[in-house]
Structure 1
């Protein structure tokens, strides 16, 4: 009886938290060489998006290097502070909420979750460099009244090895930024992320493996979500924090739900149906849950007319059947 009462209490508490917040129906607004224009934002409005993630970048030479290079003239416009500010102001002008999501790119695309220093000296240098990087954008987020701020993306080894640094970093960010905070944990990392209690959302990059089928059905994919969904719900209820998918999406290729995180350059296996089914399944599995707060599609290029299309097997849903599914679900949720 006590367990039942506790379950009901936790459910009611979480329901109250979620009901005060509208769903984040968002896209990951990819940084471009150019300024964003009203035409680019109109494409977001047509799919009923109400939020967008703006993603300036910092670069690291290799996985053991402590120096983050950012906001330089050599970067694309959208990857810089000036570009991020222009994107945010335009998005806000059109009534969209924004998540500032500064990200790191390691040379040759090395997975950021493996970022790890070889000496205490290098760890201290990385911490100083990351603080400079992230605080620059936290200050910009506050200046532009950006609604959400993501303190990092898929940095498991960095967090695992330097937990005290991250606890202190959250406090530093809170001192300058008054919006809501999350962290973008990789799908196989989020259960070990130690500081969810200090943030406003449990953020997950939702590339969970769901099916070994070439073109899995919506029903198969919904079934594949069940064990992951149970764990996410349990964590959300235990911490009384809503879950946000800081990234979610699928490539339009064969076996898209087998290893959804996979990025390669093959172009010979376009499968629009697989992407559409996977997109529909994630909506059906999560968007009706009160503990789930929505998410940001990975990824949306600002020049919609030239993005995606029927011959494209990359992540973007643009000009593909998956786009219509997003439009429909975003309209009704």
Structure 2
């Protein structure tokens, strides 16, 4: 049958057009995933030689991470931008890092973080009285807003308002809502917060941000050397929860950190940085990381993530005898390169 009436032709073509447009949108979404790295600050300036391995990895985003320091979990004063810090953690250093990354067409998430003396877990930062809470709020606001202003000046693409601060948020939720408003007043880019993998459901302010940020250390296997298939099965439960949460909050999920160590039992408690875990297992790192990519990366509710972690002096870090998180100069690096290229 030949249809000649223009209105009928239009009614037939409209669904076809939308079908094609939706397919194109999904393809564009896949192409624009955040294929990021967590770029560790160093004591010297960033050089083009340091950027080349990032480009070779096919990364399109880097998290720049200046630290502020507190003496203990109940100490309210935060020190930052100090002379004794790494150059890459100071205002001048952060700007230099951002400018060179941008020059190489690598987008940036600025992610200021707290470091507690002796490496204690920041999620347990908790003050003992109202006076101490008020002082912590004052010093944390100065820390975050100073870097938010720098982020705006440097045209940073995304800003992370905090990392794994569960008790701080639990006890002072009104403060965080006001802080977000204050950040929005000085910074116009996208905002997220980096919640720990077992914290994110209790964060009360996701709808005030642009992404649900998660440090994605979800356990996926209890095996010494987990197989790829075992790790993929291990992701099934978490994928269902993440999808449902994304729909509830109407925000995409962003892995503000993700990664696995090259050790035995890498998928059992992936958050552990215990120095006593020294038995190198390169296969475990490859399988756990690849499973995450194959199970999560193509999901429409997922925005992408930042690999933990990447050091500037590429030729002197990682390697096949290294048991830590970095994939540099290990079999996992080549696998990540191939995946990011897709």
TM-score range relative to shorter protein: over 0.9
Measured in 2, the distance between the counterparts of 1:19 and 1:219 equals: 26
Contact 1:56 1:80 in 2 (8 A): yes
Measured in 1, the distance between the counterparts of 2:224 and 2:181 equals: 46
Measured in 2, the distance between the counterparts of 1:325 and 1:303 equals: 20
> Which of 260, 275, 278 lines up with 1:250 in the alignment?
260
> Which of 185, 188, 199 lines up with 1:178 in the alignment?
188
> Which of 283, 286, 289 lines up with 1:273 in the alignment?
283
Displaced runs of 4 or more, over 4 A: none
How far off is 1:19 after superposition?
Answer: 3.4
Q: Say if 2:212 is the partner of 1:202.
A: yes
Secondary structure at the aligned position of 2:143 is classed as helix
Q: Say if 2:31 is the partner of 1:54.
A: no
Pick closer, same or farther for the CA change 1:163–1:326 going to 2, 3 Å.
same
Pick closer, same or farther for the CA change 1:201–1:157 going to 2, 3 Å.
same
> Which of 211, 234, 241 lines up with 1:224 in the alignment?
234
Unaligned 5+ segments in structure 1 are 1-11
Secondary structure at the aligned position of 1:69 is classed as coil
Q: Say if 2:129 is the partner of 1:108.
A: no
Contact 2:70 2:116 in 1 (8 A): yes
How far off is 1:79 after superposition?
Answer: 1.3
Q: String of CA shifts for 1:60-98, please: whole Å, max 9, x gaps.
A: 000000000000001011111111111000000000000
How far off is 1:21 after superposition?
Answer: 8.4
Measured in 2, the distance between the counterparts of 1:239 and 1:267 equals: 37
> Which of 79, 90, 108 lines up with 1:69 in the alignment?
79
Q: 1:273-312 counterparts in 2 under 5 A?
A: 273-312=283-322
How far off is 1:319 after superposition?
Answer: 0.4
Measured in 2, the distance between the counterparts of 1:149 and 1:55 equals: 10
Secondary structure at the aligned position of 1:70 is classed as coil
TM-score (norm 2): 0.91
> Which of 153, 166, 170 lines up with 1:156 in the alignment?
166
Secondary structure at the aligned position of 1:310 is classed as coil
Total equivalences in the alignment: 318
Q: String of CA shifts for 1:152-202, please: whole Å, max 9, x gaps.
A: 000000000000000000000000000000000000000111100010000
Q: Say if 2:115 is the partner of 1:117.
A: no
Measured in 2, the distance between the counterparts of 1:233 and 1:325 equals: 26
Contact 2:30 2:298 in 1 (8 A): no
Task: Give the stretch that moved more between structures: 230-239 or 151-160.
Answer: 230-239
How far off is 1:29 after superposition?
Answer: 0.3
Contact 1:267 1:312 in 2 (8 A): no
How far off is 1:268 after superposition?
Answer: 3.5
Measured in 1, the distance between the counterparts of 2:192 and 2:55 equals: 25
Q: 1:36-55 counterparts in 2 under 5 A?
A: 36-55=46-65
Q: String of CA shifts for 1:23-53, please: whole Å, max 9, x gaps.
A: 1000000011111100111100001000000
Measured in 2, the distance between the counterparts of 1:275 and 1:19 equals: 27
Unaligned 5+ segments in structure 2 are 1-21
Q: Say if 2:130 is the partner of 1:147.
A: no
Measured in 2, the distance between the counterparts of 1:296 and 1:307 equals: 18
| Higher Rg | 2
Higher relative contact order structure (alpha carbons within 8 Å, sequence separation ≥ 6): 1
Measured in 2, the distance between the counterparts of 1:246 and 1:21 equals: 19
Q: String of CA shifts for 1:3-22, please: whole Å, max 9, x gaps.
A: xxxxxxxxx9xx88x83982
Contact 2:265 2:284 in 1 (8 A): yes
Q: String of CA shifts for 1:226-274, please: whole Å, max 9, x gaps.
A: 1111111111112221111000000100011111111122363000000
Measured in 1, the distance between the counterparts of 2:308 and 2:151 equals: 21
How far off is 1:203 after superposition?
Answer: 0.3
Q: String of CA shifts for 1:90-143, please: whole Å, max 9, x gaps.
A: 000000000000000000000000000000000000000000000000000000
